[in-house]
Structure 1
Amino acid sequence: MAGGARFLWWIVVAAAVLLADCAADDSAERPDTALSSTFVVLRYTSFMLDSSETASHYFDAIAKFEEMNPDIRIEVDHIQNINYTAGLKMRLLGGEQMDVFDVWSPSLFEEIRRLDDHVYLDLSKEDFLNDFLPASLEPVTKVGHVYGVPGLMHTDGFLYNKTMFQKLGLSIPRTWAEFIRLCEKLKDQGIIPIALNSEWWVPQFLFGSLMSNAGADETWTAMLEQGKVRADHPMIIEAMSMTKEIIDRGFVPEGWEQLKYEQSRDLIGNGRAAMIVTGTWDLSELNANNSGQEIDFMMVPGVERTVPNLNIGSYKVISANSAHPEEAKRFLAYMNGQEMQEKLANQVMAVPSVSGALLHDPIVRRIFELVTGEEAMIYWPHIVSTESLQLEIIDALNEYLRGADLVRELAKIQLAIDRAGNREAQPKT
């Protein structure tokens, strides 16, 4: 099945699954309607509210908000990551109640905005916007109007077993050539250099970092989508080839195509692997689950330069159709405000997007310096204009990593870009 067709098929299947899930979830999560007249009920839709250790901190924050605001109750509406884009579209296009919801990237923010130019509530006049770092608001600012607020900031690349590195006398590589030599040393020691796995979203954190290192900023990406740069540009070819190099050189687990993400994380904890492709959002959980090993973060080194990548974990937005916009603003300001961001940042080892935050963990302070530095940029796939186009590019990358022809996959990327450009040129009805 071709990449584009497979993507559309996935959306249809995800929609069917969501319809079944929502019928079951809504009955369990909605408060008693007999009591709802005594307080306002806000529906909060997110991909982050699962059963993980990190999610428990968000549930605690919600409980604290309800305690401080007895006139408001939060109805949690969790959608799994793999179904999230389709789930948001179903709710919005189907006219379901939507109050506050998360979008995980500028491209998803734009994907949803293109459903309707007025889908988000304008927050431009809210005083709490002054608390945020100006750069963190840029992705949710359109024609001078701000439509969301950022949450915690991360960076992506490799998490590595620092205890193992120290034991073996290994240093953090500064260039791609040094990185390849490091992987060779690990492989010679019988250690898997990189715990790559089969999850479709994993390779983008390596590929995207390499694109950023090579100079793929917003201006270059706009040229790509406008047809001024083609998908067979040397920058894309090099980034895809370097990503596949770790597979071709045997730096990944045998049978990585069947390995699940949780299994690859176990390889780090039990000392069988040295690194895993992911982001700093996994730091706290990996350290908590592997008390005998210290896990740290390193950037993906480039050929000539290494660019810190900024990955804002989510932006909270308010539906323009919310029946309770003022209460929704209170919830949004609390959940992403300075006090809560400082607390969550030190719990989950992330960086607040608010000004003047106090950071206690030395790793968090180091990440803060990286993502707020002058060279930092939003990592590459997230500045592709829409989530759909981003997914088609990642799909082609994944096919190539599994053995498909590079020229064919580049042609698929170009076709996806051309289709996206044609859709954008069509007038809205």
Structure 2
Amino acid sequence: MKRSLLLTSGFLSGALFLTGCAGESNSGTEGEEDRTKISFIHWRGEDKAVLDDLIAQFEEENPAVSVEMTIYPSEQYQATGQRLLQDGSTGDVFTSFPGAQFEAIASAGLFEDLSGEDFVSNFDEELISVGQKDGAQLALPYQLVFNMPVYNKGMFEELGLEVPKSWSEFQTMADTLLENDITPIAFPGADIGPNQFMNSMMMNNAPDEDVFEKLQNGEESLTNEWWVKTLEDFQLLEQKSYIQKDALGTSQDSAMAMVANEEAAMLATGSYHMSALLDLNPDLELDLMAPITVEESEAMYEGINTATFMLAVNSKSEKKEQAKEFIAFLSQPEIASQYANETGQHLTINDVEYESEVLQNTAYWIDERKTRFQPRFLITNAQIEAAVLSSIENVLGGAEPMEAAKEAQQIVDENRD
């Protein structure tokens, strides 16, 4: 979706609503009565144009099948996705988030086992384990996302700033930006909240990748140092004005506009917004940077990765073979390459050719940097996930870290598995 640099946030919100609302669809019309129509549901409104084109190609290659695509806002999809699948009439092909949604849909028995399908070999086997449960491949992650701040690399070079390697260096960098009337971090608290930023903020405070599993089974607590320290770090960001005023009331569109207009140096979301930022300002030079919240010698991780947008077949569907044909089509390297380059997404598909400059410039994060799978998606209980995120929002709203941690831990204790 092309957008001019000076679009107002209201207009941009409206545009995103139009591309992200339920009921958007694409299906063939010629000979429709002779085709088997399959339903494809997901939450990526920003991908509508390229998916419309890919669906048209699929229908041309498979004249007996048509695809009706319906796109929901991501929050609505997380809340209602499982219900949509129940009777098999919707979502012959559907997508799932990792973590709590995946676990809920798996527990409801709504994933068709894809383990024996030939197209599974089109995916990098090291990146699809998040879609496995009890030895079965229930879903196939399509996107490889880096859930850590996007930063203005050109701005850093102009100011002589280097990517910080410790928490003290991060604060020095942020102070320099403030001295130049630049907000260090644009934080979209109104709609995205801390969902993405929490991952890189805690990755080195709690290097144990099983920490949230232990939290859910009672071996860990949010009142322990790893989480209280994370909340204290968020408090520091707010108190030192490293994030903008009224961060909890700032929309995604407004935060993106701050970065596009070079009023802010970083966007606290992830790589999936790089393409949209370049649509807003093609002159930006962007890269990725996670805050290192410990001393350099203590840092185990440099960033966050997530294999997401997990493609799946509804076990209740009466059109499973056609649904599998569509996933097989999307997993072909040439088709996946088109999707990757037109959406600005790294993928989990083998032999994808990245032609866009932003993808080529950030591909080093795949193999050359020590990244960790997004911790938030390892929280499989939705109530506990909400409590963890709320504790951050409470601190940004003025609560003391330990008090926010205690309040959240009480909810954890009430909802432990």
Structure 2 unaligned blocks of 5 or more: 1-20
Q: Which residue of 2 aligns with 1:311?
A: 306
2: CA distance between counterparts of 1:154 and 1:199? 22
1:160·1:298 contact (CA, 8 Å) conserved in 2? yes
Match of 2:286 among 288, 295, 298: 295
Deviations 1:179-204 (Å, cap 9, x if unpaired)? 11000001011111111233243323
Equivalences for residues 249-264 of structure 1 within 5 A: 249-264=240-255
Partner of 1:81: 74
Specify the SS of the correspondent of 2:268: strand
* Number of the residue aligned with 2:236: 245
Question: Given that residues 92 and 98 in structure 1 are in contact (C-alpha distance below 8 angstroms), is that contact kept between their aligned partners in structure 2?
Answer: yes
Q: Which moved more, 1:230-239 or 1:206-215?
A: 206-215
AA aligned to 1:248 is Q
Alpha carbons of structure 1 residues 31 and 369: separation in structure 2 relative to 1, 3 Å: closer
Task: State the distance in 2 between where 1:124 and 1:302 align.
Answer: 40
1:158 matched to 2:149? The reply is yes
Residue aligning to 1:17: none
- Whether contact under 8 Å (1:207, 1:240) holds in the other structure is no
Pick the aligned partner of 2:261 from 259, 265, 270: 270
**AA at the equivalent of 2:322:** E
Determine the C-alpha separation between the residues in 1 that align with 2:224 and 2:140.
35
More deviation in 384-393 or 266-275? 384-393
1:216–1:380 Cα contact (<8 Å) kept = no
The aligned residue for residue 323 of structure 2 is 328
Q: C-alpha deviations, 1:1-54, integer Å up to 9, x for none? A: xxxxxxxxxxxxxxxxxxxx86xx3xx859799965411111111111x2x3x4
Of 371-380 and 350-359, more deviation after overlay is shown by 371-380
**What is the aligned partner in structure 1 of residue 104 from structure 2?**
111
Alignment of 1:16-55 (within 5 A): 25=23, 29=25, 37-48=33-44, 50=45, 52=46, 54-55=47-48
Question: Deviation at 1:333?
Answer: 1.7
Q: Distance in 1 between matches of 2:195 and 2:28?
A: 43
Would the aligned equivalents of 1:201 and 1:394 in 2 still touch at CA under 8 Å? Answer: no
Q: Does 1:145 align with 2:136?
A: yes
What CA distance in whole angstroms lies between the structure 1 residues aligned with 2:132 and 2:79?
23
**What displacement does 1:363 show?**
4.4
- Aligned amino acid, residue 318 of structure 1: V
1:174 match = 165
Q: Corresponding residue for 1:125?
A: 116
Q: Which residue of 1 aligns with 2:332?
A: 337
Q: Residue 73 and residue 155 in structure 1: after superposition, are their counterparts in 2 closer, same or farther (change >3 A)?
A: same
Unaligned ranges ≥5, structure 1: 1-20, 425-429
Say if 2:148 and 2:303, in contact at 8 Å, map to a contact too.
Answer: no
Deviation at 1:416, TM superposition (A): 3.1
Change (3 A) 1:419 1:136: farther
Q: Secondary structure at the match of 2:346?
A: coil
Q: How does 1:212-227 map to 2 (within 5 A)?
A: 212-227=203-218
Deviation (angstroms), 1:267: 1.2
Match of 1:56 among 49, 54, 57: 49
Q: Which amino acid aligns with 1:66?
A: E
Number of matched residues? 393
Comparing both structures, which one devotes a greater share of its residues to helix? 1
1:77-113 CA distance string (max 9 Å, x none)? 2211121122213323466433111112233211222
- Give SS of 1:210's match: helix
3-state SS of paired residue (1:156): coil
Name 2:10's counterpart in structure 1: none
* Structure 1 residue matching 2:94: 3-state secondary structure: strand
Structure-1 residue corresponding to 2:387:
392
Deviation of the 1:70 alpha carbon? 1.3
RMSD after superposition: 2.5
Which letter does structure 2 place at the counterpart of 1:173?
Answer: P
Secondary structure of 1:213's aligned partner: coil
Q: Which moved more, 1:224-233 or 1:301-310?
A: 301-310
Aligned partner of 1:282 in structure 2 is: 273
Match of 1:346 in 2: 341
Paired residues of 2:235 and 2:401 also in contact (CA < 8 A): no
Distance 1:95 1:61 in 2: 24
| Contact 1:206/1:300 (8 A) holds in 2 | no
The residue type equivalent to 1:138 in the other structure is S
